[in-house]
Amino acid sequence: MRMYDLIVKKKRGGEMTRAELDYIVGGFTAGRIPDEQMAAFLMAVWFRDMTAQETADLTLAMVATGECADLSALPGQKIDKHSTGGVGDKTTLIVLPVVAACGGVVAKMSGRGLGHTGGTIDKLEAIPGFRVALGEAEFFAAVKRCGLAVISQSEKLAPADKKMYALRDVTGSVDSIPLIASSIMSKKLASGADCILLDVTVGSGAFMKRIPDAVRLAKAMVAIGEAAGKKMAALITDMDAPVGRAVGNALEVAEAVEVLKGGGPDDLREVSLALAANMLYLAGHGPVEACRRRAEEALTDGSAFKKLCAMAEAQGGDVSVLNDTEKLPLAACNCGVVCPEDAYITHLDAEKIGLASMALGAGREKAGDAIDMAAGITLLKKPGDFAKKGDVLAVLHTNDETRLKEAQRIFGDAVRGGDTPPPKRPLIFARVEKGKAERLADWDDILAKERGEGT
């Protein structure tokens, strides 16, 4: 085989075989195929797309470049969850303890945040002492004892993905459905769970800005997992505005704890319950509705909160900060953003809110950057709320006062107001399983608006 011929085949719209994809992905990961040839191939995929078979084969070729976690020593069906990214998305901190409290088994590997999106590992590290780098024996012992544990994803899983993503990132080929689906699913398949629930976000803060694209991505990822013998489903959830009111690591832990104690913002509670119910359903705990009722009980009877505390304790975290969240890292500077005139909030651009939070120190521009655990934003007004002139729309938190000005500028750009409230966006648009998307809300108006605002 010659890489030149394979690039030309894809450029002309040909369907790659598994052997060809193994040659390309294995060769690139091992350094035999240079960046320029791989970049050309990835761009050819961007223009020519891939069939479901090719996308599944590409994913398996990526998995084959590294190790696969073997979770078989743990009891029962292991359940994983993955979000395609968001701002203020702390659902994992709520959903995993709920699932464990209902008898599910979660041995999860997670990533760190980058750019405007947050990462579960960073949020957990806002709990002083919490260790995310456990060896296999300690990881398994924690899962056996608590029903859940979360560690940072090993570099040894699907190493092709990191190299391919870095190249896509600098050559304009990130936003391709087969490339996103294979990138995410290669890491998920290598992580070893039996059941995977995908949270495919859509809206201004998500990779997918439009509902039909989110449904296509969800179907592609569900098909890859099913082809690999996993139990799969996906929910398409809203990420047009941040979930809940808190954005930033320690602030999000505090908000997750509020929900686990039976309170917290309604949108966050609703999405978390839907995700937990679907995870339990995939692992064979009964129909989704019955699983949802059990999940609700786990929030009201305190058993889910106890699971978060048990996980934190098993991983070295200071549980006292969960019992009293005022002990979580607190920022030295807290500055309100005031509403300039009477108006309904019509839009809060999640991506820009994520960038404002990053400007405050809560996120990283590039892998390895240090982050300020206390930095972030508390949103006091959300889309649909009415704000009077002088009302505080949000509080910006940081330990570095010099960051405030830029964050205020970005935040100002993220908020739009109007004379009438905006149409209410559903929290969950659809559910995808076995190749079918079931609508869970009416989104015709939003689709029409997406078409009207087309690029």
Active site residues: 82, 161, 168, 183, 187
Angle at 132 between CA 131 and CA 137, to 5 degrees: 90
- Token pair of 144, please? 């056996």
Angle at 350 between CA 82 and CA 233, to 5 degrees: 25
Considering only 92, 173, 183, 191, the residue that binds ligand URA (CB under 6 A) is: 183
Positions in 128-167 near ligand URA (CB under 6 A): 165
Q: Would you say 174 or 428 has its CB closer to ligand URA?
A: 174
- Alpha-carbon distance of 358 to 112, in angstroms, equals 13
Closest separation in Å from C-beta 49 to ligand URA:
15
Q: Are 16 and 57 in contact (CB under 8 A)?
A: yes
Q: Would you say 86 or 242 has its CB closer to ligand URA?
A: 86
Stretch that binds ligand URA, among 123-131, 152-160, 172-180, 361-369 (CB under 6 A): 172-180
Q: Would you say 183 or 272 has its CB closer to ligand URA?
A: 183
Task: Spell out the long-range contacts of 331-335 with Cβ–Cβ below 8 A and sequence spacing 24 or more.
Answer: 331/372, 331/374, 331/375, 331/376, 331/397, 331/398, 331/399, 332/398, 332/399, 332/401, 333/396, 333/397, 333/398, 333/399, 333/400, 333/401, 333/404, 334/395, 334/396, 334/397, 335/395, 335/396, 335/404, 335/408
Q: Would you say 101 or 239 has its CB closer to ligand URA?
A: 239
Considering only 50, 98, 180, 214, the residue that binds ligand URA (CB under 6 A) is: 180
Q: Would you say 110 or 357 has its CB closer to ligand URA?
A: 110
45 near ligand URA (CB under 6 A): no
Q: Are 38 and 78 in contact (CB under 8 A)?
A: no
Identify the DSSP state of 373: T
For residue 50, the one-letter residue type is: M
Neighbouring C-beta atoms of residue 413, cutoff 10 Å = 13
| Interface size with ligand URA, residues (CB under 6 A) | 7
Q: Would you say 23 or 207 has its CB closer to ligand URA?
A: 207
Stretch that binds ligand URA, among 31-39, 180-188, 411-419, 428-436 (CB under 6 A): 180-188
46 near ligand URA (CB under 6 A): no
Closest separation in Å from C-beta 52 to ligand URA:
17
Closest separation in Å from C-beta 117 to ligand URA:
9
Q: Are 269 and 259 in contact (CB under 8 A)?
A: yes
Angle at 300 between CA 287 and CA 305, to 5 degrees: 100
Q: Would you say 116 or 285 has its CB closer to ligand URA?
A: 116
For residue 151, the one-letter residue type is: I
Closest separation in Å from C-beta 387 to ligand URA:
34
- Alpha-carbon distance of 414 to 315, in angstroms, equals 37
Closest separation in Å from C-beta 174 to ligand URA:
6
- Token pair of 316, please? 């070295």
Closest separation in Å from C-beta 318 to ligand URA:
30
Closest separation in Å from C-beta 181 to ligand URA:
8
- Token pair of 433, please? 């399983």
Stretch that binds ligand URA, among 31-39, 173-181, 194-202, 318-326 (CB under 6 A): 173-181
Q: Which of these, 277, 251, 254, lies nearest to 371 by C-alpha position? A: 251
Residue nearest to ligand URA (CB): 183
Stretch that binds ligand URA, among 178-186, 215-223, 224-232, 366-374 (CB under 6 A): 178-186
Considering only 60, 184, 282, 358, the residue that binds ligand URA (CB under 6 A) is: 184
- Alpha-carbon distance of 72 to 407, in angstroms, equals 47
207 near ligand URA (CB under 6 A): yes
Q: Are 313 and 319 in contact (CB under 8 A)?
A: yes
The residues binding ligand URA (CB under 6 A) are: 165, 174, 179-180, 183-184, 207
